[in-house]
Structure formats: structure tokens, C-alpha cells
Structure 1
Amino acid sequence: MRHHKYQWLISGLIILVAFAIGIAVYNTYSPRSTSNVSTTVVKEHYQTWTKAYLRGNKQQKFVKTNKGTKDQTLSEAQGYGMLITVMAAQQGFGSQKTFNQLTRYYMRHEISSQNPLMAWRQNHKGIAMVSTKAEKTSATDGDLDIAYALILADERWGSKGELKYNQLAKRLLSAIKSKEINSTTKLPKVGDWATGPKSATVVRTSDLMTAYFRKFASYTNDGSWTKVAQNSQILLKKLSNQQGTGLMADFVTVRSSQLKTGTIGSKEVASEHDNQYGFNACRIPWRVAYDYQLYHSQTSKQIVRKMCRFFADQKQITAIYTLSGKPVESYSNAAFTTPIVYAAQVVGNPELKSRYIQVLTGKMSKTEYYPATIQMATLLASSNIGK
């Protein structure tokens, strides 16, 4: 009997050890495994980021985007600032007061009282931040982040205070729908100014924020946002399939409801890298992985895994690539690296994660707004994996 008893104990121990190992393996390779980024690290980075880039006064704050003594900001930056602040609040730091200050700045710089899209740029002039007439047009990516951040704020704090986040979000979403979504392709345009026969067909690939469009649909009970989400994902998949690398250009054209794609030439929209994986497209791994993190889309998972496989084969991740995978620059930049590290954690690429996690959690630039801000946003998203 004693012999049998010990056999049972030994067998039980073996099972428990095997189970523990299994759990460890699962957590290592699970597509949505828990992030090992500590809250302390994230909070320290957030404090560094706010000190380096938030400017303004007690009523309004904005995100400084330039290095000069005269401040400049963009609607893109304001969207990031609002998103970062509410995501930080979700994790126990980041205050409603700061979010409200950022929101008031957005409201102050709506294109007009009839158009709640944000003017795409402001510069410091005298004692105020002002937009020229030419700058009172929109950039869709900024408006999308602002709208999404307002929804998160409504979910976090409610809308019974001074600022009615729900009303602001729905008003902005209505304007985005009417002015920044192509009525034929049901895809985001680059801005409200894109009304010509060609400009209206241009798509900034990093604007294909499927997770946002799913959220907009459920928040507003408006099924047209579901169509935008579906077409965005279809286009992302098509573009992914066009290259063995899975890389996509900063901009493409889409002219029909069948989502037939066309290419953009160099310097045709924003820069010489318009037709390459540049400083716009570098955000795609973050945006698409976020959709998998929240909604578990298998299509998003496949798109991101393909990109991760490409980057895992590179000796280092540098800034800007041709779509076939040739590095255009030799330097590295956190705007390119940190979205990949976050994506690797979400879809389960332990090799990329182990090689580059120190970039995500490491020292943040206090002078380069764009890479520092993308690092901050992806760090917050990363620390929320598995929660």
C-alpha cells in the first residue's frame, strides 16, 4: 500500500510539473501572452514624455512637435496626446485634468463652429497658437485618434462633467464620416481637403485602423462603420499579399468599390518615400496588432505575423524600406522599431521581442517628438496585453 501511495504522489507531481511547464510555454508563445513590461517603467516613461512634449496653460495643453523655441503642433500630435493620456489613466496614472486640457485645445482649434475636424497645424504667434487659412483643413489620422480617445474617456470617466465626451465624440465621428470617408470605397481619405478625382482616392495605409472602426460602429450603433472596418481589413490583406515581405507603402490609391489598388509615385503626396515603407506606414504593425489584441481578428494576426517574420530576418530594424525589403536608410528609429516590438508581443514572436524589448522600454528621446510619442503609445498598449 505504501508503495502504491508513493507512486500516486510521484505521478501527481509529474502531472503538476508538466502542467506548469505547459502554462509557461503557452504564455511564451500564446498570440496574446501577458506583457512583461512593468507599470513602473511605463509610468516613468509617461512622466518623461509629458515633461518633454506637453505645453500650454491651466486651461489648454498641446503636444509640441518641433525643436524650435516657437512651438508648433499638429492634429496628429493632439490625437496621440489625448490617446496616450486616457490610456495612461486606464492604468492608474494620467489624469482627467490633463485629458480635459488637451480636449479643450482640440475644441479651440476645430476648423470652424460647423466643422469639428481639427485644423491640421498650429504655430505659436504672439501669445496664441494659430492656424493659417491653408492650415484649416484636416488630417484624418489625427481626427481618428481624437475621436477614439474621447470614446475611451467617456468609458473611463463618464460624460456628466464639464466636457461631454460622448457628445464631442459623436459630433466628430459624424464629421469624419461625411468629410473624411470616401463614399465609394468606404475607406478613409487623407483629409477633408481630398475632394478631387485623384486626391479622394489616396489612402494613407496607416489610417486603416480597423479596431477603431469596429469601436465606432458599436459606440454609435451605425453599421456604416462596420463597412469601413471590413473594407480596411480587405485592403490591408490585399496589400500584404502583394509583397513577400508584407510591407506596405505610405500611400496607395483605391478607386472603386471593388478596392482595386494603384501605386503612388515618389513625392506625389507627402515625401520622396510615399511609395515605400516610410514614416507613415511604420505605424501599421501597431494599428493592425491592436485590432488583434482587442478583437482577435485572424486576418489582422496573419498580416502582422508576416511583417514580423520579415523583420526577424533582418540584422537590425532600420528606418524606411522598399516594399521588397531593401533598407533605404542605415539608422534606426523608434517610430519603426517600437510598433514591431509591440506587434511581436501581441502575435507571439519571442525572437523579435527578446531582441528589441529594450528599445520599447529604453531611454526615450526628449527632442524627437515623433519616435518618442509612438514609443509612448506602443508602450502603453504593450503593458495592457493580457489585462
Structure 2
Amino acid sequence: MNRFHVASAMFMLAASSAMASPDKGPRVLSADASTAAPASQQTTVQPSDYVTGAWSLYRSVFMTPEGRIVDRENGLVSHSEGQGYGMLIAVASDDQPGFETLWSWTERQLKVRDDNLAAWKWDPTKTPHVTDMNNATDGDLLIAWALLRAYRKWGIREYLRESQAIVGDIVRHATADSPLGKVLLPGVQGFAAVDRSDGPVVNLSYWIFPAIAELGEAMPDLRDLHLEQSGIAMLKRIATSKEKLPSDWTSLAGGNPEPADGFSPTFGYNAVRIPLYLAWGPDVDPKLLRSLGKPWSNEGEAGLAAVDVTTGKYTEPMIGTGYEAIRDVISCSLTGNGSIRRAKRFEISTYFSSTLQILSLMALSERYPQCF
């Protein structure tokens, strides 16, 4: 029995206990690896066990038997981002059957373009289920990263070939020149300078710094684009601008990053991932990370809120343990210690918040195990 099965059993026991406990509010599936079994039955809990146990619970709620991750709050759709996240977490949890099921569904249902990239959205209510053939480049990066890690963990060379093919087409079709260097386009269509008067338009949460670094080590074509440098350059330029924080969608048409036309100028549900990816990556700039952590300094009832970057005003509360878990990652990265109690107690809530919480656990276990 590997650690996936041990940690899964421990977490499911704790989750069952949590579900059976009476409470006055809405019930939330939750578990904590450190208390998931009686002391006499526990093995030594490793940081990665928090990821493995959380994945077991997450998989039981969000993954169908066919292998699709379901966004329950968004019309039960699936998307390449969710498939990539699921595959990545399955590898981290040493869940090879789960990974293979996810990848098989992704290949059959989303790899329907003429290139090696994935269609971004699958809708169970539409026929055909894919109605928009555009890709989402962060989803492609996540899938390629998961495949590379799967190859390294289980030695299946086909996973490496698939990862290389995806990365090759990201480089060929989903990058563009900018005054700050090569940048990732959010999709092949619709974001370049030829597509928009304020193009290129980028989404800085698509700079998944640990993925770009790992894939770049294995694939020189990606490494030679120096995407990490362009992402950091944009974030630093924004940190010293009047906006201070990146909006979800950013125009580079004028040379300096600024909120893109037609999008809300908000540090919101996209941009919230930027400090997580920065802290998870190989080169952390503490000053920049501290600046990106400012939305978490809103210590009101909500804890975290979206920010209108043009006014600095908090707009919408972002409620969920996944958002609070990112605060733990920021704190641990900046201090080298500190409490990560929010991240450690995994809770099933929305698809996105639950996913962010497991990603935070992965970042902590891989980069900051001393904080457990």
C-alpha cells in the first residue's frame, strides 16, 4: 500500500467524522491529515500527505468516473485548466490510476484542435460539447507540466512526448513579442496585437512560474523565451505604477502594463493566483511578493476581497479556505515559518477555492516543508 492509499484512508475517516458532527451552519466536507486517524493507527505524517489526503476527498467530489473535473459553480462545465490541475495533483498524490483516467478523458474530449493544444471548455449541455475551439494557455501549461512530472514519477515515455508536443505548440502559437520581452498569450486567438487595438493582452495568472521553470529545464525552446523574466518585469512595473496591483487582464500596447479594455480593472479571481505561483517558483522576490499580498491585509470580516486597481478600493469579498491558504503560502515564504493552519485543514467548498487550497498545500510541501 503506497502513501496515497494510506493518506486517503486517513482523510476519508476524518471527513466522515466531520460530516457526522452536528453543527448549526452549512456542512462543509473537511479533514486534517494530522488528526485523520487515532494516534495508535497513525504513521508519521509527511507534508505531502496533506496533499494526498486532500486529493482523495477532492477527487470524490469533483472528478467523475469518466475522468473530468467538474466546475459545479459554472454550469457543471469542465475546462483544460481543471483537467490540468487534477492531473497535477494526482501526480503529486502518486495516484497513477486517477491520473490516467483524467488524461484519457482530456485526450478524447479536449484534444480536438489541429495542433497539440486543448480546447478550453467542455459543456455537458451543448452538442457538440466543445463549441469554442480556442485554447486556454494556462490549461495547456498545466497539462504539459503534469505530464512531465508523470513521466519523471512513473517513467512512461509517452507522457514526456506529449508534454514536449504541447510545449512546442505553446511556443509556436501562444506567445508574442512585447516591450518587456516574450509573453504568453491567454489563447491562440483573440489577444494578440493583430486581434485587439490594446493588444497584446495578457493574464499574469497564466505565468505559472514553477511550471515554466520545470518545463524550461527540459525543453530549451521554452527556456529560451525567458518568460519568467517577462512576467517578473511586468509585475515589478505594475508594483511601481499608480495601480500597484495587477488586474486580471492586462494590456501591453503602450509599453507599460495597464488594465485591458473591456475587462473589469480588478485584482480578482484570476490575479489571486499570482502570489501563489510566485511563491511556488524558484526565484522569489520578497518585496514583490509582499506587494502582491496587500489584498490579504484587509482584515475585515471577509479576510480577502477583490480590489479595483484603479481606485484601490475593496469591491467583492472572496470567501473560501483556498484564498486564505494562499495567505499562508505568502506568510511562510516571507518569514520562513509561521502558522499554516488555514491551508492544512482542507475543506471542500467551491471548485476554485478547493483547488487553490490543494495547490497551496503543494506549494508549501514542495518549497516550504518547514512550515508544517
Please confirm whether the aligned pair reaches a TM-score higher than 0.5, indicating the same fold.
yes
Q: In the alignment, what sits opposite 2:325?
A: 338
Deviation of the 1:349 alpha carbon: 6.8
Rounded to whole Å, the distance in 1 between the matches of 2:88 and 2:64 is 16
Identical positions, percent: 20
Amino acid at match of 2:361: L
Change (3 A) 1:85 1:114: same
Is the CA contact (8 Å cut-off) linking 1:209 and 1:232 kept in structure 2? no
Shift of 1:337: 2.2
Q: CA deviation at 1:40?
A: 4.7
Q: Distance in 1 between matches of 2:160 and 2:50?
A: 32
CA contact (8 A) 1:214 1:225 kept: no
1:362 pairs with 335, 340, 345, which one?
345
Distance 2:125 2:257 in 1: 42
Letter in 2 for 1:339: I
Matched, 1:79 2:84: yes
The structure with the largest alpha-carbon Rg is 1
Which residue identity lines up with residue 327 of structure 2 in the other structure? I
Unaligned runs of 5+ in 1: 1-35, 90-94
1:245-297 Cα offsets, whole Å, 9 max, x none, are x53211111137xx4223224xx24xxxx311100001011011111xxx2x2
CA contact (8 A) 1:283 1:335 kept: no
Indicate yes or no: 2:54 matched with 1:45.
yes
Which letter does structure 2 place at the counterpart of 1:311?
W
Equivalent-residue separation in structure 2 for 1:386 and 1:180 (angstroms): 32
Q: Does structure 1 residue 307 correspond to structure 2 residue 292?
A: yes
What's the TM-score, normalizing by structure 1? Answer: 0.74
* Alpha-carbon distance, 1:179 to partner: 1.6
| Contact preservation (8 Å) 1:203, 1:252 | yes
Q: Which runs of 4+ in 1 moved over 6 A?
A: none
Per-residue CA deviation, residues 331-386 of structure 1 (Å, 9 max, x unaligned), is 52334322221122122275xx53xx3322235124x1111111111112212334
TM-superposed deviation, 1:174 = 1.1
Q: Which of the numbers 154, 171, 175 marks the counterpart of 1:177?
A: 171
In 2, are the aligned partners of 1:111 and 1:137 still within 8 Å (CA)? no
Deviation of 1:53 after TM superposition, in Å, equals 0.4
In structure 2, the CA distance between the partners of 1:43 and 1:167, relative to structure 1 (3 Å rule), is closer
Report the equivalent of 1:62: 68
Q: How far off its partner does 1:159 sit?
A: 2.4
Matched residues in 2 for 1:122 and 1:209: separation?
A: 23
Contact 1:110 1:116 in 2 (8 A): no
Q: Which has the higher contact order (CA 8 A, sep 6+)?
A: 1
- Aligned residue among 75, 93, 99 for 1:88: 93
Cα–Cα, structure 1 residues 223 and 52, in superposed 2: closer, same or farther, change >3 Å? closer
Q: Give 1:322's aligned residue.
A: 308
Find the residue that maps to 1:213 and give its secondary structure: helix
Q: Structure 2: where are the runs of 5+ without partners? A: 1-44
Structure 2 CA distance for partners of 1:253 and 1:371, relative to 1, 3 Å: same
Contact 1:141 1:207 (8 Å CA) reproduced: yes
Structure 2 distance, partners of 1:235, 1:206, is 12
Contact 2:308 2:314 in 1 (8 A): yes
Specify whether residues 98 and 373 from structure 1 end up closer, same or farther in structure 2 by C-alpha distance, changes over 3 A only: same
Alignment of 1:160-309 (within 5 A): 160=157, 164-184=158-178, 185-194=181-190, 195=192, 196-198=195-197, 200-222=199-221, 225-242=224-241, 246-255=244-253, 259-265=255-261, 268-269=262-263, 274-291=264-281, 295=282, 297-298=283-284, 300-308=285-293
Inter-partner Cα distance in structure 1 for 2:292 and 2:183: 22
- Alignment RMSD (CA, Å): 2.8
| Paired residue secondary structure (2:117) | coil
